[in-house]
Amino acid sequence: MAGKKKAKELFKRAYDAPNGFKINYCLVGDRYPVEEFIDGLTEEEQNLIMALLNLLGDQKGRLSTIKYKCLNINICGMVYEFKIRQIRIACFTRPDYNYNLIYGFKKKTNQWPKKHMSNMRANCKLFKEVEEKGI
């Protein structure tokens, strides 16, 4: 049908490791907010994130707790946090061992600020709604 806009994919590939490990941006509403967040960072910060994603891919998802930890939240699946300096990116996993990036922000305190925790939960909820509709 002419003029009809193609639906966005539930996941957009962020990184493919040589060993088959995959990291995805999640569709939240009609956008990929982590991709937008990363695009807004400095080139140095983007390079640090890519280095971490490369390391994660090489390690098949096993990173030290210094750079990666479970937030003990089960919304879209168990939610984890990647840490690079003050940058935090929340993700969840699925049985195929892919990591799905759902929320990112720059952290200024040791704890996740309530505002960012609420925003991350809202992103997970929106993602689940889109997923259940089965794009």
DSSP string, 59-104: TTT---TTTEEEEEEESSSEEEEEEETTEEEEEEE-TT--EEEEEE
* Cβ–Cβ under 8 Å, residues 34 and 23: no
Question: Could you tell me the pTM of the whole model?
Answer: 0.78
Q: Which residue has the higher pLDDT, 19 or 131?
A: 131
What is the percent of the chain with per-residue pLDDT over 70, rounded to a whole number? 81
All structural domains of the chain with their residue ranges: 11-133
Q: Which of 60-64, 68-72, 104-108, 124-128 has the lowest mean pLDDT?
A: 60-64
